[in-house]
């Protein structure tokens, strides 16, 4: 698809501004000069300048001309697309994560699954056996891309699902966090634009902040998922280098893309030649039917960096993840060699050993059943006790529910009041660069449904009702 000329010119000017050819506050060439230089009509150049003005990139001064906007903070565009040229969320997120760490706190705000759901004794045996059998050379033998047995076991699981991934394109990492970070690093340079979901997992916002990238946020709906028209528009408007999203059990809203949406999304990526970072850490936690097919299953798979880990489904503390990196595998390996060197060798060997034992699928079946039961129990309790107008997601996997409180309620206040009563929740502000989700909460449903949990939901609903009545 070719962009209209005024949009092409707007993109060129925006790239120049991003590259500091034109500095904040500096005057751009006059319309007449720009026509002469570009060979475009006055109307086309005017439209391009006006588009950049409407996006907050330029300001016009009567009788003087167009200037680069002095500072370029968060902007609202086209009603749905938002951009952030500087993301600074870390302090707030660290405070919230730390606040939920005490073991006497009811951990509805936690990102971690209930640790009692995992086969600890079997994992311990695999770890002990791996350490016993470790050869003195194993540290070198397991440098990037990582332990071969483990990579082959992971490739076999892809193969069983019909996803073409070879062991050679898999790089073992320290959790999905490292695989996502390396993927972002391989696809972007500081200052580049990345399309992300809104709301998004806070690790996305942290990754973008750390790498000094600019973000275009694409609206999500907890039932419909990502807004593809907005994504298409973002690609037409900004020089986007990478797209980062989740196709299954999105964190925080929980939705899963249907096959049609996945096809359309891949078409958009192909048309715009944009690579995708697919975060798929919850994919094994589906409640019914089969594992959702990842976008990696498409013909565009070499340009899709599929990131996952064992942190949510088998061994939370082991910190082992991977990326199936397609065309980018050797560059990812080099970046890893320059940063963390490799994932811990004994835990890689332990997981390879565990996967060979053959009890992984039985564990997953039990885990999925438990998670579904626990989600049902907590969802019903919230539905029955929160004020009318509350919207609740109904994910078909994973262990989060997203709660949209009615009206203009302040979920951060509820988070603070709940914490004083030793209950943690994840306020919506953790998942965005602005306050758009300040009336939302994410709740972790993986913990045992018992009297303590029931009472905690009751306390939460009392706090929510107090706030609700204040707003009526």
Is 220 a binding residue for ligand PLP by CB under 6 A? The answer is no
End-to-end CA distance of the chain: 49
Residue 160 φ/ψ, nearest 5 degrees: -65, -25
Which residue, 68 or 243, is less far from ligand PLP as judged by CB? 243
According to CB under 6 A, which one of 81, 281, 323, 335 is a site residue for ligand PLP? 281
Which residue, 55 or 336, is less far from ligand PLP as judged by CB? 336
Going by C-alpha positions, the residue among 429, 426, 404 that lies closest to residue 99 is 426
136-144, 169-177, 265-273, 292-300 -> range binding ligand PLP (CB under 6 A) = 169-177
Instruction: Report which secondary-structure segment, H or E, holds 263.
Output: helix 259-272
Going by C-alpha positions, the residue among 61, 68, 82 that lies closest to residue 16 is 68
Smallest distance, Å, CB 257 to ligand PLP?
Answer: 15
- Omega within 30 of 0 (cis) for the link into 388: no
Smallest distance, Å, CB 71 to ligand PLP?
Answer: 32
Going by C-alpha positions, the residue among 184, 266, 255, 204 that lies closest to residue 225 is 255
Is 197 a binding residue for ligand PLP by CB under 6 A? The answer is no
Going by C-alpha positions, the residue among 170, 198, 154, 205 that lies closest to residue 184 is 205
According to CB under 6 A, which one of 55, 83, 251, 429 is a site residue for ligand PLP? 251
CB-neighbour burial class of residue 389 (10 A; exposed 0-12, middle 13-18, buried 19+): exposed
By rule CB under 6 A, what string of x and - marks binding of each residue 310-349 to ligand PLP? Answer: -x---------x----------------------------
Is 111 a binding residue for ligand PLP by CB under 6 A? The answer is yes
Return the residue nearest ligand PLP (CB atom).
175
Instruction: Report which secondary-structure segment, H or E, holds 215.
Output: strand 214-221
Query: 151 and 351 in contact (C-beta within 8 Å)?
Result: no
Site residues (CB under 6 A) for ligand PLP, limited to 290-309: 309
By rule CB under 6 A, what string of x and - marks binding of each residue 200-219 to ligand PLP? Answer: -x-x----------------
Which residue, 230 or 277, is less far from ligand PLP as judged by CB? 277
The footprint of ligand PLP (CB under 6 A) covers 111, 175-177, 201, 203, 246, 251, 279, 281, 309, 311, 321
């Amino acid at each position: 698809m070719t962009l209209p000329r005024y949009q092409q010119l707007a993109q060129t000017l925006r790239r120049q501004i991003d590259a500091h050819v034109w500095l904040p506050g500096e005057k751009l060439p006059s319309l007449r000069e720009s026509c002469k230089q570009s060979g475009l009509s006055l109307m086309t150049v005017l439209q391009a300048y006006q588009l950049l003005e409407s996006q907050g990139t330029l300001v016009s001064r009567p009788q003087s001309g167009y200037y680069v906007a002095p500072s370029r903070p968060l902007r609202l565009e086209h009603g749905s697309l938002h951009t952030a040229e500087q993301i600074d969320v870390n302090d707030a997120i660290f405070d919230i994560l730390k606040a939920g760490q005490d073991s006497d706190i009811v951990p509805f705000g936690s990102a971690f699954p209930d640790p009692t759901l995992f086969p600890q004794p079997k994992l311990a045996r695999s770890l002990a056996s791996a350490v016993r059998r470790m050869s003195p050379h194993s540290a070198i033998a397991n440098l990037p891309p990582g332990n071969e047995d483990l990579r082959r076991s992971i490739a076999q699981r892809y193969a069983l699902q019909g996803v073409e991934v070879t062991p050679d394109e898999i790089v073992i990492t320290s959790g999905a966090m490292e695989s996502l970070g390396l993927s972002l690093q391989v696809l972007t340079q500081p200052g580049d634009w990345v399309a992300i979901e809104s709301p998004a997992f806070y690790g996305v916002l942290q990754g973008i902040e750390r790498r000094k990238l600019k973000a275009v946020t694409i609206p999500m709906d907890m039932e419909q998922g990502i807004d593809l028209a907005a994504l298409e528009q973002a690609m037409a408007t900004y020089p986007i280098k990478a797209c980062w999203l989740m196709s299954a059990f999105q964190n925080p809203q929980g939705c899963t893309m249907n096959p049609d949406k996945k096809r359309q999304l891949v078409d958009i990526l192909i048309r715009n030649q944009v690579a995708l970072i697919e975060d798929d850490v919850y994919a094994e936690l589906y409640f019914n039917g089969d594992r959702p097919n990842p976008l990696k299953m498409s013909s565009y798979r070499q340009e899709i960096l599929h990131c996952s880990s064992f942190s949510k489904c088998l061994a939370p503390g082991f910190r082992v993840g991977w990326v199936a990196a397609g065309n980018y595998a050797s560059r990812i390996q080099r970046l890893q060699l320059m940063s963390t060197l490799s994932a811990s060798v004994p835990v890689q060997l332990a997981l390879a050993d565990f996967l060979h034992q053959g009890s992984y699928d039985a564990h997953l079946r039990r885990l999925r059943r438990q998670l579904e039961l626990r989600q049902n129990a907590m969802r019903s309790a919230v539905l029955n006790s929160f004020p009318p107008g509350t919207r609740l997601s109904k994910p078909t996997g994973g262990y989060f529910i997203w709660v949209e409180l009615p009206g203009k309620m302040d979920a951060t206040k509820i988070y603070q009041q709940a914490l004083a009563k030793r209950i943690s929740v994840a306020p919506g502000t953790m998942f965005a660069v602005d306050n758009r989700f300040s009336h939302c909460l994410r709740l972790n449903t993986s913990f045992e449904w018992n009297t303590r949990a029931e009472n905690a939901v009751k306390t939460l609903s009392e706090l929510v009702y107090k706030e609700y009545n204040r707003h009526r």
